Structure 1
Amino acid sequence: MRARIAAAVAVLLGVGGCTTDKAAPANVAPSFAPGAEGAGDPYFPAYGNGGYDVAGYDLELKYDPGPGRLEGTATITATATQDLSSFHLDLVKLTVSSVTVGGRPATSRADGNELIVTPAAGIVRGAAFTAVIAYAGVPGPLENEALGVGGWLRTDDGGFALGQPESASTWFPVNDHPSDKATFSLAMTVPDGVEAISNGVPGAREQAGGWTTWRWTESKPMASYLATVVIGQYRVRSSTHAGKPMVIAIPESLPADGPAARSLARTGEVADYLETLFGPYPFDAYGGVVLDDGRVGYALETQSRPVYGNVFFSSREDLTVVAHELAHQWYGDSVALERWQDIWLNEGFATYAEWLWEEHQGERTTQEAFDAAYRGFDWRTPTGDPGHEQLFGDAVYQRGAMTVHALRKAVGDQVFFGLLKSWPADHRDGNATTEDFVAAAERAAGKDLTDLFRNWLEDSTQPPAPG
């Protein structure tokens, strides 16, 4: 994100004895216990959940902009990572009417922003299961200490779901932490004449009885906060780029040929340049969406289709923000965070991509961009552990990019640009930590880089400028 200011049907094993390919040893009885109500992230301990790993979300939803009502079902495929007696999902301000697990009725109850599901029988560790959850209500936003208002925001002509570090739980039941990536498909039914744009590859639209169903599929694993849907009056331009769908949506309230439209029209050009730096584009679709909404003063790297607040395009084209969000498709989306404190791995590299794009366009060089950031910088916040209150601060973005530049100077361009490609290739569709990156950089450089990363990621004093 760039902020301004930036297979299977369930196999269940009860104590009484179903069979499964991954059943507990015959002489060991399962010890069923509830899954954890958080993923254990030091910054946001209550985010996400434990005890299972989601493989995919399949949403069949209907949204009526008039009353702002959302209803439908979520089908969640997952695998138990412990012997589960019950498990938690994150769900905010929406009411569940029924749950099945493995085709059998399950019980559920809401506890704040948690939905606690108890299946008819315990689920053995290693067993796949499918939960189908019917729910409805008027979704709303979440106040987050890191970014402010996020989640589902209602508009005069529809609404949208957007936000980091959380947002998905405001419109579907989810394991809302980036460590549990999953595939995603959405069928969103809205009134005829209203558009519904989401992640991934578009499917065939269906019309019936005054309603239109828009279908979207993201087949590559995705962190939950990268899921989005934008509903309202939009000019949707569909084309192809490099043989893949390109979908760009501009609000009808903005000029069809204005700065926002002109900026997003160059998405393919920017993505092609970034491929020369980071390797093959990691997803099956391209595009972008602009929001004409004063509540959104940022852009977010929603997978395959970034969403941009119009604040970036209010007076001119801005391709640096496009470069930033597209760089995230490799750094942040394809290779996602394992924990939130390592967000510099997302934002430092995306900010550095801005600098590289500027140089590519014949503007300032990366060294000039580094020098401008280095002068007078406040070094008190460590980039590698900024604290949740500074999750989107300069230590993450600007010092993060300076760390990338310092690494480049320390290892040389040949090693550096090789690493820019090998890192997203080696961790494609997965998660990683700062320790993983440091180890990869040291392998690529063939030398110890402890001092460099300590100076740039951990210290609260000015690191020496790289030679």
Structure 2
Amino acid sequence: RKIQADVSIALAAARPTRKLCFLLADSCSLDRIKYLGIALPIKISPACPGLNLLSAVLPIRAEAGEKIVVNIIYSWEVPDQGGRSLQLPPDTHWYPFSPLPQNYTCTLNVITDESMRVLGPGEFRGVKPAGTRVCNQWTSDIPFRGIHMAAGDFLRTARPTEPPLEVAYPRKYLNQAKAIANYCEELMGFLAEKLGPAPFPSLNTVLTDNPQPLVSSSFYMTSISAGALEQLKEENPGKDRYVRQYKLLAQSLAHHWLKDNLAVSHPRERWCLEGLAEYISWLAVEAKYGKAIREKFLLEARERILAAPKISLCKGANIAGGQLPQWVVDKAGWMLWICHCLAGEAFLPSIRENLALCRGTAPAPAEFFLSLGKIAGCDFSQVYKAWCQSKNQLRIEVAAARNFQAEDGQWQLVFNLINS
């Protein structure tokens, strides 16, 4: 499938400049960048694996605060995904973006065959004729980041959640879609209780017929391929696959509160948000299926951590390009589990309060744990040093154990917990 794009970007100059820079997937072929109808001189250079840096020079200098509108025209070939559905998640970098934390409104117009249903960010504004085809329009007036689009021969089902939830699916996946919708309805309530009110006005969960195992999320949408569900079925026979599916949905939906909502100053700092989504998914599984199932996920995560390179969590997150290594997410989840054990019942209310203070931008991980500890009444600084900045894995030993009788006559047990 070949896709042609004509993107209009409105931005304000932070300081006087003649140079504009954008990042775009290197699979995209740039035609031109226009300003006031004039084609600008451009330079294309590799930025990092999978991304090109597009540099354009304005004919005159833009002053600080001046509004600039440019048009970027480009095209690309979407590899055959093995089904009729098409999904374009933000992490494929199919649209021009800035390396700085993003926050923008968006209007998305998609011209396609009349038989295709298009899903995009924000509110659906309807379908208009476009020659022999039709134009679907989606608009978000709320600033967000991460443009996510899906198209296919979809049906849909809705659930009476707050905010509204819809699940789109190909007809042949009706049973799977109903199960996913029921799970998502449960999880929306659970996540609101643990993380606070949903930051998004609506949510679409899309099941595509792509046979490859792909799961992606953005502020407004989660897309799950049929291949991802089939992989869970093959690797987890019997009822266990439903537990895994529930955990997958819990983690994906938690991202809408966390990494898809809160900007980070650098990609290496997103491990904290992804680790929290992982940990919340363990709690969701425990709430539905019991403590033993949650402990099973903890043990599986520990095995992956022990099998990983013996480097610090911070270094593992820093060298990662694109998706974080699973062991980094696992170790972050384990760290939050330790903090929960230390803080007890104060932990989850502290998480909610800490997130409420973020206001669209996540603090650096060290600041997050410092603030979390203050709210919970615990000092997590040593936990952060031992679990994030050191090479220690999850080889935990109890040392220097001793007991004594307190003034009230109660016996107390004291010991050192060593993570090596």
Task: Bin the TM-score by the shorter chain.
Answer: 0.7 to 0.9
The answer as to whether partners of 1:201 and 1:284 remain within 8 angstroms in 2 is: no
The 3-state SS of whatever aligns with 2:272 is helix
Question: 2:55 aligned to 84, 108, 116, which one?
Answer: 116
Instruction: Mark the structure with the bigger radius of gyration.
Output: 2
Residues 267 and 428 from structure 1, CA distance in 2 versus in 1: closer, same or farther, beyond 3 angstroms? farther
CA separation in 1, counterparts of 2:268 and 2:60? 37
CA separation in 1, counterparts of 2:82 and 2:296? 42
The answer as to whether partners of 1:279 and 1:421 remain within 8 angstroms in 2 is: yes
How far the C-alpha of 1:327 sits from its partner, in A, is 0.7
Question: 1:294 aligned to 211, 216, 222, which one?
Answer: 211
Residues 77 and 208 from structure 1, CA distance in 2 versus in 1: closer, same or farther, beyond 3 angstroms? closer
Partner of 1:370: 298
Give ranges in structure 1 of 5+ residues lacking alignment. 1-64, 142-152
Identical-residue share of aligned pairs (%): 16
Partner of 2:314: 384
TM-score by length of 1: 0.72
Give ranges in structure 2 of 5+ residues lacking alignment. 46-51, 234-240, 398-416
Partner of 1:95: 30
CA separation in 1, counterparts of 2:325 and 2:32? 41
Q: Is structure 2 residue 266 aligned with structure 1 residue 339? A: yes
Question: 1:320 aligned to 239, 247, 250, which one?
Answer: 247
How many positions carry a matched residue from both structures?
374
Partner of 2:413: none
Aligned ranges 1:35-434 → 2 under 5 Å: 65=1, 68-71=2-5, 73-91=6-24, 92=26, 93-100=28-35, 103=36, 105=38, 107-112=40-45, 113-125=52-64, 127-140=65-78, 157=84, 159-162=86-89, 164=91, 167-168=92-93, 170=94, 172-175=95-98, 177=99, 179-223=101-145, 226-237=146-157, 241-242=161-162, 244-252=163-171, 254-257=172-175, 259-295=176-212, 297-314=213-230, 315=233, 317=242, 318-364=245-291, 366=294, 369-371=297-299, 373-374=301-302, 377-378=305-306, 380-386=310-316, 387-388=319-320, 391-414=323-346, 416-434=347-365
Residues 374 and 155 from structure 1, CA distance in 2 versus in 1: closer, same or farther, beyond 3 angstroms? closer
392-401 or 277-286, which deviates more? 392-401
TM-score by length of 2: 0.79
Partner of 1:39: none
Give the AA of the match of 1:249. Answer: A
Structure number with greater CO (CA < 8 Å, separation at least 6) is: 1
Give the AA of the match of 1:385. Answer: K
How far the C-alpha of 1:260 sits from its partner, in A, is 4.3
Give the AA of the match of 2:180. Answer: S
Name the Cα RMSD after superposition. Answer: 2.8
CA separation in 1, counterparts of 2:323 and 2:111? 35
CA separation in 2, counterparts of 1:79 and 1:439? 35
CA separation in 1, counterparts of 2:71 and 2:30? 10
Residues 187 and 118 from structure 1, CA distance in 2 versus in 1: closer, same or farther, beyond 3 angstroms? same
Give the AA of the match of 2:371. Answer: A
The 3-state SS of whatever aligns with 2:221 is coil
How far the C-alpha of 1:158 sits from its partner, in A, is 6.0
1 or 2, which has the higher helix percentage?
A: 2
Give the AA of the match of 1:137. Answer: S
